[in-house]
Amino acid sequence: MTPSQSQSQSQGVPEARYRVTHVTTYDYTEPVTLCQNVAHLSARPCDRQRSESPVLTITPEPAVLEERVDYFGNPVHYFTIQEAHRRLTVSAEHVVGVRPGLAIDPAATPGWESVRDRLPRDRGAAWLDAYQFAFDSRYVAADRRYADYAAASFAPGRPVLAAALELVHRIHAGFAFDPQATTIATPVLEVFQKRRGVCQDFAHLLQACLRSLGLATRYVSGYLCTVPPPGTLRLVGADATHAWVSLFCGDAGWVELDPTNDQIPGDRHVLLAWGRDYEDVSPLKGVILGGGQHLVKVAVDVVPEVLG
């Protein structure tokens, strides 16, 4: 299937619409005299997604605020605050239309070794772009232990997506979701050994397994629209950022994989940005002068919009 056919089919599928609000508040015990920040808080336009009227509100008002596209093609804001402050609030709000990705038969994808072996050799634009995501990055490095773990799913000649989906299922079944078990600084190897973590950890682990086999993976940052249990009210601010993985499947293109939920992301997954790992697409990061100790609070809402 050609890219144009893929795009036209995706555009023919009804979209789900969400109003996304993401508010981050930093409270400091001492004044901050200067801060410089990078924000990946605008939804990335792509074949299955479009963003309407994104609004970024920052308090105190920045002396410098620039919107650009980063190396990976993600929308990104850079801002500098030069006045002393004890609280920083960054609020992003936008409406996003999302369609499910194009259905792909896992058994019809190329054998995984053929994708691995072709990555270093093919000079086509799609393959060259994908190859940069096959190398080690700050949070994700190849290791024989990850390759050995993945090997149970990657039998010789097995279609790459079929094998990857089995690996996703194994991670989902074999690792416990535990928000208290890790931090952003927890190494993948510790997650692998403890068998506990959160979506970011499981995404990095899946990447480590696939890269250890010589395959190319992207880390995807975004949101997942959650549905409260029957009979309970939806809690405002109770949603959170989410993370998953995109795997390059050769001529079948990129396919997203969510190991936390054991699924291929659909129209409930809102994509913010992609990169080599979390370091490239952190929703908000920066440096400050002063501040003392700080407390950070994050409130996220992903609310379906009902069309009239």
Residues 69 and 110 in one domain: no
Residues 290 and 158 in one domain: no
Q: How high is the pLDDT of residue 233?
A: 56
Q: How high is the pLDDT of residue 249?
A: 98
Q: Which residues contact 217 (CB under 8 A, 6 or more apart)?
A: 133, 134, 140, 206, 207, 210, 211, 245, 246, 247, 248
Write down the pTM of the prediction. Answer: 0.91
Please state the domain count of the chain: 2
Say which amino acid occupies 126.
A
Q: Which domain holds residue 54?
A: 3-99+283-304
Residues 262 and 298 in one domain: no
Q: How high is the pLDDT of residue 217?
A: 98
Residues 80 and 112 in one domain: no
Residues 160 and 277 in one domain: yes
Residues 71 and 146 in one domain: no
Torsion of CA 274, 275, 276, 280, to 10 degrees: -120
pLDDT by residue, tens only, the chain of 308 residues: 333 333 334 456 688 999 999 999 999 999 999 999 999 999 999 988 998 878 999 999 999 999 999 999 999 999 999 999 999 999 999 999 998 877 899 999 999 999 999 999 999 999 999 999 999 999 999 999 999 999 999 999 999 999 999 999 999 999 999 999 999 899 999 999 999 999 999 999 999 999 999 999 999 999 988 776 676 655 444 577 899 999 999 999 999 999 999 999 989 899 999 999 999 999 999 999 999 999 999 999 998 886 54
